[in-house]
Amino acid sequence: MPEADAVRARATVTRLALASLTTLKVGGEAEVWTCEADADVRDATRADFRVLGGGSNLLVGDGGVPERVVRLGRAYADARALDAAGDAWLGAAVPLPGLVRRARQLGLSGLEGVLGIPAQLGGAVVMNAGTRFGEIGDALQEVDLMLDGRVERVPAADLGLDYRRSELPPGTVVLRAHLRLTPSTPERVARAEEAVDAARRGQPKARSAGCAFKNPPGDAAGRLIDAAGLKGLRVGGAMIAHEHANFVVNLGDATAADVAMLLERVRAEVGVPLEVEWRRWGLPGGEAAARGWDHGRPAARPSTDEG
Ligand SMILES: Cc1cc2nc3c(=O)[nH]c(=O)nc-3n(C[C@H](O)[C@H](O)[C@H](O)COP(=O)(O)OP(=O)(O)OC[C@H]3O[C@@H](n4cnc5c(N)ncnc54)[C@H](O)[C@@H]3O)c2cc1C
């Protein structure tokens, strides 16, 4: 059997509504390739593709995504390699919340700052997810990347990690990450997490994709949006949260077009340039298209950074 056919027999290919795979719960359909081995990823990335992690930083257009959407499956989601020594290679689909919990139980310090972030490890690396208490880059040593069909090991220092961003080349899939945590005690780790948890208490519980805008230098996007009196502003089923002005929540029936229009209204009314933190995929359709929604790079090897 040719290699591609053999590999395709392992990857699961399904047409799915991306609304079901993102935390904001909007977005149309795509062909989703779920990969259980590096060879599957190699095969899936032979055509134009995007990579989906936990879907917690994405706004997907109502018209769906024309490219393949590549996901890492259960084989990449096992956190058990992390033991009390705190030095481990982990698959990029490991959910961050479970990893943070495991680190605390093992008495390992270094992930307290990412408490409460609903990402997968790979998506956390790509976005350098974190809070003012710490970010994933603090614990990251190196990664295995799939790039142009080859697996490459790259030190964290070469990933261009910065505030909520990295400089991975387009078309890169993070397969695994090497983390190094510091032995401590469960009690000390839990105490360090309390401050992070307290800072999160004011955040909305409704469906969202986290903070919509990056903080501009020297200020907070949420403060600016609040000061402009925009809490509670609604377009269709999308609303600026009452609890935290930098969160857009889906009241239940929001479309991507609603969300995109709401973002544009906020940007127009705040008066300070605000950069959207989310990655935006696909075809918006409807009114948002007429208003010039920026739907990211065209399809040539677009996976990671169209934000
Ligand atoms: C309630 C809530 C709270 C949040 N709080 C925070 C916070 O405090 N701090 C913070 O930084 N973020 C926060 N976020 C945003 C989000 O969780 C992060 O940006 C996170 O890093 C996204 O990871 P993900 O796995 O969900 O990636 P996705 O949203 O699936 O994808 C994001 C980008 O990463 C790429 N990507 C994902 N996985 C891979 C991979 N394996 N290889 C290559 N590219 C990949 C995608 O192509 C896309 O470009 C929050 C989100 C929510 C919903």
For residue 11, the model assigns a pLDDT of 86
β-bridge partners, 70: 33, 51
Identical fold between 77-200 and 221-276: no
**Closest residue (by CA) to atom 43 of ligand 1?**
173
Identify whether 211 is a catalytic site residue: yes
**What distance in angstroms lies between residue 15's CA and the mean position of ligand 1's atoms?**
22
Residue 207, Cβ neighbours under 10 Å: how many? Answer: 17
For residue 9, the model assigns a pLDDT of 52
**Which listed residue (35, 211, 279, 301) is catalytic?**
211
Instruction: Name the residue ranges covered by the structural domains of the chain.
Output: 77-200, 221-276
Residue 70, Cβ neighbours under 10 Å: how many? Answer: 23
| Token output for 243 | 């609890």
pLDDT at 71 over 70: yes
For residue 202, the model assigns a pLDDT of 85
**Cα 10 from Cα 119, distance rounded (Å):** 25
Identify the CA nearest to 21 among candidates 209, 263, 296, 254: 209
**Closest residue (by CA) to atom 50 of ligand 1?**
210
Judge if the beta carbon of residue 120 lies within 6 A of ligand 1. Answer: yes
**What distance in angstroms lies between residue 157's CA and the mean position of ligand 1's atoms?**
20
Question: pTM higher than 0.85 for the full model?
Answer: yes
Residue found by looking up tokens 């996007």 in the block: 221
**Which listed residue (50, 71, 104, 164) is catalytic?**
164
pLDDT tens per residue, range 162-181: 988 999 998 999 999 999 99
Architecture in CATH for domain 221-276: Alpha-Beta Complex (3.90)
For residue 100, the model assigns a pLDDT of 98
Judge if the beta carbon of residue 27 lies within 6 A of ligand 1. Answer: no
For residue 289, the model assigns a pLDDT of 47
**Cα 166 from Cα 153, distance rounded (Å):** 16
Identify whether 164 is a catalytic site residue: yes
Tell whether domain 77-200 is in CATH 3.30.379.10.
no
Residue found by looking up tokens 């409807």 in the block: 286
Ligand 1 atom nearest to CA at 208: 53
| Token output for 9 | 């027999």
pLDDT at 264 over 80: yes
Judge if the beta carbon of residue 296 lies within 6 A of ligand 1. Answer: no
Instruction: Please report, for residues 79, 118, 135, 154, 173, the alpha-carbon distance to residue 151 in angstroms, rounded to integers and kept in the order given.
Output: 21, 26, 25, 10, 9
- Residue 52's contacts (CB-CB under 8 Å, 6 or more residues apart) are 18, 21, 32, 58, 69, 70, 71
- Beta strands 130-131 and 234-235, pairing class: unpaired
Ligand 1 atom nearest to CA at 121: 25
**Cα 21 from Cα 165, distance rounded (Å):** 22
Ligand 1 atom nearest to CA at 57: 29
Query: What sign does the dihedral 164-167-169-173 (CA atoms) show?
Result: negative
pLDDT tens per residue, range 23-52: 999 999 999 999 999 999 999 999 999 999
For residue 297, the model assigns a pLDDT of 40
**What distance in angstroms lies between residue 56's CA and the mean position of ligand 1's atoms?**
5
Instruction: Please report, for residues 2, 48, 117, 189, 231, the alpha-carbon distance to residue 113 in angstroms, rounded to integers and kept in the order given.
Output: 46, 34, 9, 10, 27
Q: Which residue out of 21, 50, 57 has the highest number of ligand 1 atoms within 8 Å of its CB and is therefore the one to mutate?
A: 57
Judge if the beta carbon of residue 57 lies within 6 A of ligand 1. Answer: yes
